[in-house]
Structure 1
Amino acid sequence: MNLLKKTAPFYYLALFYFIINCIIRIILIFHPITQSKFGLIDLLKIFGFGLVSDLFVFIIASVFLFVYLLFISNSKYNKPTGFIILGLFVLLFAYVASGKSILTEYGGGLARVGMIFIGLKTALFALLLFLPKYRNAIRYWLFSFTLFLYVLLIIQNGISEYFFWNEFGVRYNFIAVNYLVYTNEVIGNIMESYPVVPIFAALFLIAGIITYLIVKTSRIYIDSIPTFIEKIKILVVFFSLFGMSLVAIPALAKLENSTNLFANELQSNGLYKFYKAFKDSELDYFKFYKTLPNSEAYQILDEQLPGLKTESTLRTIKSDSAEIHKNVVLITIESFSAEFMKAYGNEGALTPFLDSLATQSLQFTNLYATGNRTVRGLEAVTLCLPPTAGESVLKRVDNKTKFSTGALLKERDYTVKFMYGGNAFFDNMQDFFGGNGYDIVDKNSFLPSEITFSNVWGVCDEDMYKKALQVMNQESLSGKPFFNHIMTVSNHRPFTYPNHKIDIPGDIKSRAGGVKYTDFAMKEFFEMAKKQAWFKNTVFVIVADHCASSAGKTSLPIDKYRIPAMIYSPGFVAPNKYNQLMTQIDLMPTLFGILNFTYQSKFFGQDVLKADYKPRALIATYQDLGLIKDGVLTVLLPKQDVKQFELKLNPKEGVAPEFQIYYDQTPLAKPRTDLINETISFYQTASDVLKKKKYNAL
């Protein structure tokens, strides 16, 4: 019985969590947006299975509280143990403060956050060590503060679930995950939309009262700290329940099978829905966006992609000439905005090599990235697919055996590789490319002697290019053509690279230095590549994965999506400029046209050099899906909303017309229904083929 009393912090918090969730379910049932009636079975499932699910979710969520309580003891402050632990804390703090830790290398404010956290832990441990008379009082306030945070988060989650339901009529989904990505915008919207000060004042007051009641009834844990044996017993019980919860939560989710969709949402647990949205990385287009009848959507798509025969994108691409099986090297450059290059108006001489290479290439001057993350750029050049709502296909569960550029080249007996200077485990690249038939060369493939410089993201671009050359020299001996997709890493925060390579030291950690070093490393690569026997039989495709930043005055500021792209192959591809509007998804189909490929295609991307191509660009965030066409940006948003903006050029002096980037975006006075339907067509059909697995490899 005494041991049961000592678990009071858990079961009182659990009881409070149940009460809040029960209240939320009742409120949401009677919410005006819940336009449904519930039968007895529905209500039993909502409150029966729902509350059981809440119990198991709480067990998972209370693991941090459990770890905190587990380490409360007096013995760790005895000599010499207490002084050893304090010394380790001080050393850890000094390491982070030195500026040489991995937190500093990562960049941003992470090192500062780490210093604050470790500093507080060190200071609190020192107080408890050196002030034994006040140890109980200090521990009491820390215990109270920890429970207050849990109470506060439980109440705040309940309020958040209400507001999310109020806006979308569902529990958390990928939009909620997206809100964590765009924290500044979301907080700004909340500040402008709701009376924040009164709400938070009431929230803190209620949380304080509830915490007082819970602490009053559960402080026995710190007044009579469990013995080592008692903690072992609690540990066994907790982890038994923890393991049971891992099995029970998804099992209970499968019981959300009512024909009443509102009943399923109310039965579910919001925190688990949030986790599942994060894991699955999808946002159901058909639930949240404006749609057309599927047949109509595909009919409109057929006007853009001639030759569709069924409700799919399968069609035949024919060439009148024999196929040319040259080696293909695709280089996607990290965070490389068009505005970094001289032609687009940059006066900083950041990219002298690429500026020169562009004049020797087929240059696509009016090309837009599909998104603002690396995974979107990789998705675009690999799957040639519009950016569907939610996360990129790379990070989804169903991301393998897709119709891809690699698969198409593999059919032609190419060796196919993805090369990345970092660990391909990051951003799910290894799972995606490996699952689509690519061999992977990443940092794990390097010998220690092959790494001259690396940071948190991986080896520097020079090392990656040298490794790529080594691999390609070996591949060329087989007599088979090769396709190698290289993803660079150096132009990424913290912008560190080898010193004495360019006139901006790597220690400065500047964006300009990152751009300039990226250009320098590429120059070194091409100088070495030109000396190789396979060079004359190789086509190089160079494109950015996305721009350096995506922030702007609107949700889709189109200047933040404009990227450079070119196809370089001396003696094969004549230097030229292609100035029509296009997107990343069109780049590889255009290359296949240059190589005279005849093939069955599922690509949404098109050969822009063909006469039937209709200029347009597809750009998106996680939830705002845009189409640029005819001087108009059409944006599809959740809740079946649509916005349209007229694009008026804001020219930069001294820049040629084809390289102008900046446009004023003003709301369109009269809606263009044709463009709205076309935008819906692209994104609805892309979502449809993925959902129905119609975009898998042939």
Structure 2
Amino acid sequence: MTFKVPGFAHLSKRFSLLFNFIKGFILLSFLLRIAFFIWQYDEVSWNIFAIFRTVLTGVFYDFGVSIFIAFPGIVYLLLFPNKFIGSIVDKVLVFFFFVLTIFILVFTFFAEITFWDEFKNRFNFIAVDYLIYTHEVVKNIQESYPLPLLISGVVGITAFIVFLFYKCGSFRDTFTAKAPFKQRTVVFLSALLIVTVYISFVTNKDAEWSSNRYNNEISKAGIYSFFAEFRNNQMKYEDFYTTCDNQEAFGIVRDKITQKNSTFLKDDWSIRRTITDTLPEKVIQPNVVFILMESMSANFMKEFGNDKNITPNMDALAQNSIFFSNLFATGTRTVRGMEAVTLCIPPTPGQSIVKRPDNHNLFTVSSVFQKKNYKNNFFYGGDGYFDNMNSYFGGNGFTIYDRGRGSVLSDDIKTVRHNIEDNEVTFENAWGICDENIYDKMLKVADAHYQKKEAFFNFVMTTSNHKPYTYPDHTIDIPSGTGRDGAVKYNDYAFGKMMEKARTKPWFKNTVFVIVADHCASSAGKDEIDIKNYHIPAFIYNLPGVANQKIMQQCSQIDLFPTLFSLLHWNYESNFFGKDVFDKKFEPRAFVGTYRKLSLLKGEKAMILSDQKKQAFYAWNKETNDLKPLPMDKKFLDEAISWYQTADYLFTNKLLKE
């Protein structure tokens, strides 16, 4: 009993189920790829060559994935004796693992769709992270999607696929046909060769052949991408990126960050320096409330052309504060924003430093506040175990206030963690308590410090502007859970309500508020880096003696605290790459990146450094958000390399430690 398969003449029907599975997997993957094409129809390249290569590349990856998935079955067919074919054991094992595999794959296809909806990417390192934080992710899925309908759909589609295989006789053939050992060996060795080739010579980056990011992502296979990122989510700069001599790199960076009132402490590969202000510090230091807003893109504000009136409080604040109108996030995730504002450092490749090992006792903004005798507090409405936040902030001088309810800090963290109790919570979703509740907790802690005559630095991370976009009913005129606009408006509402309460506090007149987004709501686009989707708002409010103004200079999240410290006339030691934007030698620039691509933006020119030691130079059109290739500029390239190489060097060699 044989059937013909291309490359395998007269193959035993014992392999019928196996080979039909491979063909079915490639077909379903092809249909998903077409769906993504249609989904992003106005962003993908429809050039006939681009379409052909996208599909062909995708099929190549799908074939590899199908062999990986089928490989355990191939081993089973190799080792299972012919005399037991069709037995109860054979039928139970084959049927059970086939159905389980189909169920997992159907669920994975659904997951790819929801992941694309959120990130416009195939599975990447974010998906790998989500394996660790299953509670938040599962709860988010439950609150964002009709889970019973989703599971029913997965079960229904699985049953339908199994039925099709049954009707076409695949099970019958598999349980009635025998295969010679020689033939089974040839199939096994062929599969082993294919698996070895894919593991040894095919990387996920090979799918990135186009200048259009969407075509690249659609070319990939989600499962292959997932395991590629699982193996490679941390990257040493010197191994993957173009480098220059360290002496030259530090020379360039030191020249860029030097200012009239700064003195470097060492002549070696270091940026540590003292900054001495020309004016005396205040006798009574102001409190500082720092708010890192979840996913607050600049384009949500009326200030930047949005006509939906979803940020009235921030729009008002833009007219009554030191408003940074041309500031850019360094990355696309909350932990990247946290890294930028606390360490004042350009993004290093791979994971954010917030999530890396050995990230305690670093020189952060907390170090500066501690030396000024401030009490440093970190507030998060979810479980701070998520994204390693408690470990990072607890290991760098902050007292923790979160919704951990059972999670504990590691023994090496010498700080205190306080749980936000049930009686302090009026609303909670997958990502934590609502913004009103976390602000109320912050105000309560601020009151306690004021009573003890303690200066405080309160760092608040908001959560409400996140899928499933739910918040307390009847707070704003957009129903909860209906989309991003409602979450943005609630975020703004909660901020406005907090400011109203803060203004009634006796400590308000001596408190400075610093507000900035962690990243944009979406940073995906058709180009290597979608620069416009890194533009975020930032404010310094209630700083006596400094006129309200709009800072038009291009700058970065890493410049926010150095600018604040300068406005406060502080003398302090710095290990920061960020710089006071009011300094006469400040050169407008920003650092934007993904976990693999690192960019230096200066005006409307961008140098993008990629792994595999590649680089590209572009003109950025702010109106259309397009990148147009430019001839390479060696001086610009050397500067871009220097910023990122030195940042990675300092962390890798533990020179960011206090």
Q: TM-score, normalised by structure 1?
A: 0.65
Tell me which amino acid in the other structure corresponds to 2:273: R
Q: Distance in 2 between matches of 1:122 and 1:421?
A: 41
The alignment status of 1:299 with 2:273, answered yes or no, reads no
Mapped contact 2:207–2:216 kept (Cα < 8 A): no
Partner residue, 1:316: 274
Mapped contact 2:208–2:217 kept (Cα < 8 A): no
Structure 1 runs of 4+ off > 3 angstroms?
101-106, 108-126, 136-141, 150-160, 162-165, 175-179, 182-187, 270-278, 570-573
Q: Distance in 2 between matches of 1:553 and 1:275?
A: 24
Partner residue, 2:296: 336
Deviation per residue, 1:634-660 (Å, 9 max, x gap) = 11111221101112342xxxxxxxxxx
Tell me which amino acid in the other structure corresponds to 1:618: F
Q: Distance in 2 between matches of 1:106 and 1:178?
A: 34
Tell me which amino acid in the other structure corresponds to 1:162: S
Partner residue, 2:13: none
Deviation per residue, 1:430-468 (Å, 9 max, x gap) = 111111121111123222122111111111111111111
Partner residue, 2:549: 576
Q: Distance in 2 between matches of 1:648 and 1:604?
A: 27
Q: Secondary structure of 2:535's partner?
A: coil
User: Could you tell me which of 618, 622, 627 is aligned with 1:665?
Assistant: 627
Partner residue, 2:484: 511
Tell me which amino acid in the other structure corresponds to 1:283: M
The alignment status of 1:485 with 2:437, answered yes or no, reads no
Task: Give the drift of 1:376.
Answer: 0.6
Q: Distance in 1 between matches of 2:213 and 2:324?
A: 34
Partner residue, 1:228: none
Partner residue, 2:110: none
Partner residue, 2:236: 284
Query: 1:123 and 1:164, CA in 2 relative to 1: closer, same or farther beyond 3 A?
Result: closer
Partner residue, 1:653: none
Deviation per residue, 1:82-108 (Å, 9 max, x gap) = xxxxxxx9xxx9xxxxxxx93644536
Task: Give the drift of 1:276.
Answer: 5.7
Correspondences of 1:43-192 after superposition (within 5 Å):
102=139, 104-107=141-144, 114-117=151-154, 158-164=196-202, 186-190=216-220
Q: Distance in 1 between matches of 2:542 and 2:253?
A: 33
Partner residue, 1:500: 474
Correspondences of 1:625-664 after superposition (within 5 Å):
625-650=598-623, 663-664=625-626
The alignment status of 1:696 with 2:657, answered yes or no, reads yes
The alignment status of 1:450 with 2:424, answered yes or no, reads yes
Tell me which amino acid in the other structure corresponds to 1:577: K
Q: Distance in 2 between matches of 1:346 and 1:154?
A: 56
Q: Secondary structure of 2:296's partner?
A: coil
Q: Secondary structure of 1:366's partner?
A: strand
Partner residue, 1:432: 392
Deviation per residue, 1:271-327 (Å, 9 max, x gap) = 99965644xxx2111011111111011111122012543211111111122224211
Deviation per residue, 1:337-375 (Å, 9 max, x gap) = 100000100011010111001111000110000001111
Partner residue, 2:316: 356
Q: Distance in 2 between matches of 1:415 and 1:177?
A: 49
Query: 1:636 and 1:125, CA in 2 relative to 1: closer, same or farther beyond 3 A?
Result: closer
Task: Give the drift of 1:176.
Answer: 10
User: Could you tell me which of 319, 327, 335 is aligned with 2:287?
Assistant: 327
Task: Give the drift of 1:139.
Answer: 11
Mapped contact 2:330–2:340 kept (Cα < 8 A): yes
How many residues get paired?
507
Tell me which amino acid in the other structure corresponds to 1:188: I
The alignment status of 1:383 with 2:343, answered yes or no, reads yes
Query: 1:292 and 1:352, CA in 2 relative to 1: closer, same or farther beyond 3 A?
Result: same
Q: Secondary structure of 2:394's partner?
A: helix
Partner residue, 2:583: 610
Deviation per residue, 1:39-85 (Å, 9 max, x gap) = xxxxxxxxxxxxxxxxxxx9xx99xx99xxxxxx999xxxxxxxxxx
Q: Distance in 2 between matches of 1:530 and 1:638?
A: 49
Out of 309-318 and 325-334, give the one that drifted further: 309-318
Partner residue, 2:376: 416
Tell me which amino acid in the other structure corresponds to 1:496: T
Q: Distance in 2 between matches of 1:413 and 1:575?
A: 28
Query: 1:495 and 1:320, CA in 2 relative to 1: closer, same or farther beyond 3 A?
Result: same
Task: Give the drift of 1:189.
Answer: 3.9
Deviation per residue, 1:462-486 (Å, 9 max, x gap) = 1111111111111211211101110
Mapped contact 2:532–2:622 kept (Cα < 8 A): no
Mapped contact 1:176–1:274 kept (Cα < 8 A): no
Q: Distance in 2 between matches of 1:462 and 1:608?
A: 32
User: Could you tell me which of 438, 441, 447 is aligned with 1:464?
Assistant: 438
Q: Distance in 2 between matches of 1:690 and 1:664?
A: 33
Q: Secondary structure of 2:600's partner?
A: strand
Partner residue, 2:645: 684
Query: 1:452 and 1:674, CA in 2 relative to 1: closer, same or farther beyond 3 A?
Result: same
Mapped contact 1:177–1:274 kept (Cα < 8 A): no
Mapped contact 2:140–2:431 kept (Cα < 8 A): no
Partner residue, 1:45: none
Q: Secondary structure of 2:619's partner?
A: strand
Query: 1:304 and 1:598, CA in 2 relative to 1: closer, same or farther beyond 3 A?
Result: same
Q: Distance in 2 between matches of 1:586 and 1:350?
A: 27
Tell me which amino acid in the other structure corresponds to 1:160: Y
Partner residue, 1:144: none
Query: 1:674 and 1:535, CA in 2 relative to 1: closer, same or farther beyond 3 A?
Result: same
Overall identity of the aligned pairs, in %: 38
Mapped contact 2:214–2:525 kept (Cα < 8 A): no
Q: Distance in 1 between matches of 2:255 and 2:304?
A: 33
Mapped contact 1:105–1:455 kept (Cα < 8 A): no
Tell me which amino acid in the other structure corresponds to 2:642: S
Partner residue, 2:120: none
Q: Distance in 1 between matches of 2:271 and 2:147?
A: 45
Mapped contact 1:633–1:647 kept (Cα < 8 A): yes
Deviation per residue, 1:535-577 (Å, 9 max, x gap) = 1111100000000101112111111000000100164442111
Q: Distance in 2 between matches of 1:273 and 1:556?
A: 21
Mapped contact 1:103–1:110 kept (Cα < 8 A): no
Q: Distance in 2 between matches of 1:462 and 1:596?
A: 33
Q: TM-score, normalised by structure 2?
A: 0.68
Query: 1:402 and 1:111, CA in 2 relative to 1: closer, same or farther beyond 3 A?
Result: farther
Partner residue, 2:526: 553
Task: Give the drift of 1:120.
Answer: 6.8
Query: 1:140 and 1:620, CA in 2 relative to 1: closer, same or farther beyond 3 A?
Result: farther
Mapped contact 2:213–2:528 kept (Cα < 8 A): no
Tell me which amino acid in the other structure corresponds to 1:696: K
Query: 1:122 and 1:484, CA in 2 relative to 1: closer, same or farther beyond 3 A?
Result: farther
Q: Distance in 1 between matches of 2:619 and 2:269?
A: 32
Q: Distance in 1 between matches of 2:208 and 2:462?
A: 26
Mapped contact 2:393–2:400 kept (Cα < 8 A): yes
Mapped contact 2:377–2:401 kept (Cα < 8 A): yes
Query: 1:524 and 1:286, CA in 2 relative to 1: closer, same or farther beyond 3 A?
Result: same
Task: Give the drift of 1:329.
Answer: 0.7
Unaligned runs of 5+ in 2: 1-67, 77-86, 90-102, 108-137, 177-187, 405-418
Q: Distance in 1 between matches of 2:427 and 2:213?
A: 34
Partner residue, 1:392: 352
Greater share of helix: 1
